[in-house]
A and B are shown apart, each in its own frame.
Chain A
Amino acid sequence: MIRLDHVSHRYGARDVLHDLNLDLSEHRIGVVGSNGCGKSTLARLCNGLILPSSGAVSVEGHDTAKDSSAVRSLVGFVFQDPDLQIIMPTVGEDLAFSLRPHRLPKAEVAKRVDQWLHAYGLQSHRDHPAHLLSGGQKQLLAIAAVLIAEPQVVIFDEPTTLLDLANKRRIMDIVLRLDQQVIVVTHDLEFLTDFDRVIVLDQGRVVCDDRPQPALAHYRRLALGEPPVC
């Protein structure tokens, strides 16, 4: 479980998140809100990529400010732009990179890499330069590279924003089939209809925290400037 305890965050003089108190324990959690409302900041706080200006964030009891290594082994993070996430020059090598902290024998690494390449239809691209993959294939590789490390929680920061419809569907299917807890930050409301919980952020505050149907209805009304229902 991820717990945010009186968490606030600011960039310079600008307050982005205000006194959030959240227990994130459901299997699938969506986060929506307008641009600049603090969604990505919330996601990054949960992975320890940024630390709160005040308050505390913990993952399974590990404080992100004090035990970052443990937090990162528990929480995987899929970025919006896979080009920034893919570290190694070729597809197979990038998957193997995720296993470096596990210090596995070379044969075991090769076996796991093969399994994940096969699972994501990338087996014929094993030795291809990553920069030559299509946008959809890059996002698949970025997701596989996170999942191969077997995190307990996976955070997706707008994973479908740069994709066409077919690849968007494919990524949505993958996310919905994951056994791990997933937290998805997105503008794609259709993505969240089968989720367990949706959090609506507005100007750094939680303005609705509910099942998808009422929460998304609230967000739609908010976006249109109509009176809220939550």
Chain B
Amino acid sequence: MLSLYILGDSPIHRCPAWLKLLALALIGSVVMIIDSWPTLTAVLVLIIGAYVLARVPWHACWPMLRAMIIFVAIIAACQWLFGSAATVAVVSIRLTCVIMAANLVTWTTKVSDLVASIDVAVSPLTRLGVRTDRFSLAIALALRFIPVIAEQGRRIREAQAARGVRAPLTYLAPLIIKTVRMADGVGDALESRGADLRPVTTAGTPACPSRRAFVDTADHSG
């Protein structure tokens, strides 16, 4: 998911984002209904065919495949304890189908196109007073900042290792603190770039206590 868009001009790349999202939703629903492993295998073969059609490079696929194989193997091992071989096969192929299809969509679709499609899909909710632009912005922010937070975590672990700290989970507290501070900075950036986080009354004043109250307590006195 986070490897994001891979530049290309295949038929899958040219396919509209809404159609790919719809296909993904359909595949996700269909594989949950099917209980026959041969039929699920046929769906998987179709998805692999879509990969070939999309001409996604092997070096881009491999890290995802490796992580997926480990994940599916763990789930399969757990299933093996409670179920039959057929159940293990069904669950494993089902998960593989969904993960591979989701990755294909994100690899062949620009985030801006995904976001625009989601904007259109949820736009009827605006009639109920829902700020639908926040859905797509939240997705974009997650895609943008998960790698940044992962990098922060790696730096903290390196710094701790350099100081001889080896306990595996000790990096979590500084990472959470850093992430919260970062969220404050990102909030400032969103406001200054006109993302309009706060509901504004017709008089132009904040309609409710806003994140500005939190900003005011954050010391920017440098």
Query: Interface code A29-44, partner B: CB below 8 Å = 1, 0 otherwise?
Result: 0000001111111001
Interface size class of B (residues with CB under 8 A): 35 or more
With an 8 A cutoff between CB atoms, is A12 at the interface?
yes
B18 to chain A: closest CB distance in Å?
A: 15
Q: Are B220 and A68 in contact (CB under 8 A)?
A: no
Q: A72-B194, A90-B111 are in contact. Are A84 and B182 (CB under 8 A)?
A: yes
- Taken together as a complex, chains A and B put the C-alpha atoms of A11 and B214 apart, in Å, by 10
Q: Are A69 and B196 in contact (CB under 8 A)?
A: yes
Which of A40, A51, A81, A129 is within 8 Å of B216, CB to CB?
A51
Asked if B222 is at the interface (CB within 8 A of a chain A CB), the reply is yes
Q: Given the complex of chains A and B, what is the CA–CA distance between A101 and B196 in angstroms?
A: 9
Taking a contact as CB atoms under 8 Å apart, the answer to whether A41 and B221 are in contact is: yes
Interface residue? A202 (CB, 8 A): no
Question: Nearest Cβ distance between residue A124 and chain B, in whole angstroms?
Answer: 11
Contact among A40, A77, A158 for B192, CB-based, below 8 A: A77
Taken together as a complex, chains A and B put the C-alpha atoms of A149 and B193 apart, in Å, by 9
Q: Of B5, B7, B182, which is in contact with the most chain A CB atoms at under 10 Å from its CB?
A: B5
Indicate if the CB atoms of A96 and B112 lie closer than 8 Å: yes
Instruction: Write out the residue numbers on chain A whose beta carbons fall within 8 Å of the beta carbon of B215.
Output: 49-50
Q: Which of chain B's residues have a CB closer than 8 A to the CB of A86? A: 144
Partner of A131, one of B144, B185, B190, B221: B144
Contact at A83–B221, with CB atoms within 8 Å? no
CB distance from B64 to the nearest CB of A (A): 15
> A200 contacts the other chain (Cβ, under 8 Å)?
no
Q: Residues of B contacting A37 with CB < 8 Å?
A: 221-222
Decide: B194 and A73 in contact? CB cutoff 8 A.
yes
Contact B216 A11 (CB under 8 A): yes
Contacts of A87 in B (CB 8 A): 140-141, 144, 186, 189-190, 193, 195
B47 adjacent to chain A (CB < 8 Å): no
- Say yes or no: A93 contacts B220, CB within 8 Å: no
Count chain A residues whose beta carbon lies closer than 8 angstroms to a beta carbon of B: 50
Q: Is the CB of B7 within 8 A of A127?
A: yes
> Which residues of B sit under 8 angstroms from A76, Cβ to Cβ?
192
Q: Answer whether residue A183 sits at the interface, using C-beta atoms and an 8 A cutoff.
A: no
Binary contact readout B1-33 vs A (1 if CB under 8 angstroms, 0 otherwise): 000110100000000000000000000000000
Provide the bound-state CA to CA distance between A35 and B214, in Å.
22
> Taking the nearest CB of chain A, how far is it from the CB of B96, in angstroms?
25
* Interface residue? B110 (CB, 8 A): yes
Q: In the bound complex, how far is the Cα of B157 from the Cα of A213, in angstroms?
A: 45
A38–B205 CB distance below 8 A: no
Contact of A129 among B4, B140, B193 (CB under 8 A): B4
Contact, CB under 8 Å: B185 / A88 = no
- Is B200 among interface residues, defined by CB-CB distance under 8 A? yes
Q: Residue B140 contacts which of A35, A89, A149 (CB distance < 8 angstroms)? A: A89
Q: Whole-angstrom distance between the alpha carbons of A79 and B205 in the complex?
A: 25
Counting chain B CB atoms within 10 Å of each CB, which of A14, A50, A87 scores highest? A87
- Interface status of A160 (Cβ within 8 A of chain B): no
Which residues from 1 to 33 on chain A have a C-beta closer than 8 Å to any C-beta of chain B?
A: 11-12, 14, 16
CB of B151 closer than 8 Å to a CB of A: yes
Q: Which of B189, B196, B204 contacts A79 (CB 8 A)?
A: B189
Contact B221 A51 (CB under 8 A): no
Assembled-state Cα–Cα distance A93/B113 (Å): 10
Tell me if A130 is interfacial: C-beta within 8 Å of chain B. Answer: yes
Q: Name the CB-closest residue of A to B112.
A: A93
Query: Using a CB-CB cutoff of 8 Å, which residues 26-69 of chain B contact chain A?
Result: none
Report if A11-B110 is in contact (Cβ < 8 Å); known contacts: A131-B148, A131-B151.
Answer: no
Known: A37-B221, A66-B205, A90-B110. 5 other contacts (CB 8 A): A35-B222, A79-B192, A87-B141, A87-B193, A100-B194
Could you list 28 A-B pairs, sorted by A, with CB under 8 Å?
Answer: A14-B219, A14-B221, A35-B222, A37-B221, A49-B188, A50-B216, A67-B204, A68-B200, A68-B204, A72-B192, A84-B188, A84-B189, A85-B189, A86-B144, A87-B141, A87-B189, A87-B195, A88-B111, A89-B140, A90-B4, A93-B140, A98-B194, A100-B194, A101-B194, A127-B5, A131-B148, A149-B194, A158-B222
Top 6 A-B pairs ranked by shortest CB distance?
A84-B185, A77-B192, A89-B143, A40-B220, A101-B194, A85-B189
